[in-house]
Homo-oligomer: A and B are copies of this chain.
Amino acid sequence: MKHIAIIGFGIVGGGIPDVIDSCRDGIINALGEEVNVKYILDLRDFPDSPLGDRVVHDINVIVEDPEIELVCETMGGSHPAYEFSVTCMEHGISVVTSNKEVVANFGDKLLECAKKNAVSYLFEASVGGGIPCLRPFATSLGHEKITGVSGILNGTTNFILTKMKTEGREFADVLAEAQALGYAERDPSADVDGIDAMRKIIILTALATGKLASDKVVYAETIRNITPADIDAAERIGGAVKLIGTYKAVGDKMSVFVCPQIVKNDMALSAVNDVYNAVSVKCDITGDVMFYGRGAGRYPTAGAVVADAVAVLSGAAEVEKNHVFVRDDSAVLPFEDVKFTYYIRTAVSSAAEAVETFKGVFDDVTVLDGSADGVCEFICGKLSKRELDATLPALGDVQSVIRILE
């Protein structure tokens, strides 16, 4: 019998005992023995739960029990998740987590702590919910150079953008529905302003490069300003608007950012709809690889936590103990200097005159069909944000600027 503890008994943590129950045979097959949830750490009590008698309120009860081999950290937030994880590892206990915030903020220190104490620190569930996308970085693509990652990393925003497209509705209207369905929080900013996706692209970038960027140097742009007119324009261009997290190798530097982009229909990411997530990886040898699945939800996420637990307890994760992240903000290029192709919609009095103006402003500009007096739509590139901002005064009353994924 392997004894573990769960710290944080919310949506994800509360699903872990169910997953362990329903995967009993598979777990026994992998480990040769059962897994027992000996303790649950939470501020609350759970008198009605069949596991109510496992609840403790002091982390020391867990770390001082020599039977505990592994802790599932599903608290969320940086503190005290960080301190509790360190305490566990200093007591020789491996930690597996779904907590993207603590990994994005403290992944370097947590992996260093794991290495020093010869335990595992795994976080598959922190990106892409149940999608097995992090372990393959380590175990299948670990020896290759990874030159880019593009991901649809947030299910809430993908649900909103998909509904806006299929039903022609406004952002605020679909957000309200997502909140009613429990897909979005009452304060939706972590999702819709790209913070959640930013944490995930920071983690993916660190896996690809070994370099952990801080949130201060990673640009994140909201989807609040996307309108039905934008989504309609994307469709006419032959694509769809998606919130994309991006890492790109640029010489020995890198660009890392999150923003809405128009994804063309011939890209595999374009077919990732609703609450699904996908991570597309550009590899030196293997070419483009994509991992797709449910990016959130109690059981997919709890399942990924349990998968990490089984990997640690079976010895399959031994090799991942060598991983380190080095904090290196200086490797991240300023977002203002990253060049894109843009879709731009602007109100002008005369389309014909405007087109003449644009041709003088941009080296490369394509005016879209249907542009008329009143509104003009065009595609221009490739420009950095800095370069684009300098042109804006010449463009009339700009209604929309959306980058196009390449």
Contacts and interface: CB of A to CB of B under 8 A. Distances in A.
Interface of A: 19, 22-23, 26-27, 29-30, 124, 129-132, 135-136, 138-145, 265-266, 268, 270-273, 276, 283-294, 297, 299-300, 302-304, 306-307, 310-311, 314-316, 318-320, 322
B270 A143 contact: no
24 contacts: A22-B284, A29-B143, A124-B140, A130-B289, A131-B289, A132-B139, A132-B140, A132-B141, A132-B286, A135-B140, A139-B139, A142-B310, A266-B273, A268-B276, A268-B292, A286-B304, A287-B293, A288-B292, A289-B291, A290-B291, A311-B319, A315-B319, A316-B316, A318-B318
A33 to B, nearest CB: 13
B294 A287 contact: yes
Contacts of A136: 132, 135-136
Given A268-B271, A283-B303, A292-B292, 15 more contacts: A22-B284, A22-B285, A23-B144, A23-B285, A26-B145, A29-B142, A30-B322, A139-B311, A143-B307, A144-B307, A285-B299, A285-B303, A285-B306, A290-B291, A316-B318
A405 to B, nearest CB: 15
Contact of A286 (B140, B293, B319): B293
A139 B143 contact: no
Contacts of A27: 143
Task: Tell which of A141, A290, A294, A302 has the most Cβ of chain B within 10 Å.
Answer: A290
A30 B141 CA distance: 11
Contacts of A273: 266
A347 B300 CA distance: 48
A129 B287 CA distance: 10
A300 B287 contact: yes
Contacts of A322: 30
A227 to B, nearest CB: 24
A26 B311 CA distance: 22
A314 B319 contact: yes
B300 A144 contact: no
Contacts of A315: 318-319
A245 to B, nearest CB: 18
Contacts of A314: 319
A144 B132 CA distance: 13
Contacts of A265: 271
A9 to B, nearest CB: 18
Task: Tell which of A135, A142, A314 has the most Cβ of chain B within 10 Å.
Answer: A142
A287 B307 CA distance: 14
A318 B315 CA distance: 8
A30 B306 contact: no
B289 A292 contact: yes
Given A272-B268, A285-B23, A300-B286, A135 B143 contact: no
Contacts of A320: 316
A388 to B, nearest CB: 30
Contacts of A289: 130-132, 291-294
A310 B306 CA distance: 25
A291 to B, nearest CB: 6
A270 B268 CA distance: 9
A143 B2 CA distance: 15
A383 B285 CA distance: 44
Nearest to A297: B287
A285 B19 contact: yes
Contacts of A316: 138-139, 316, 318-320
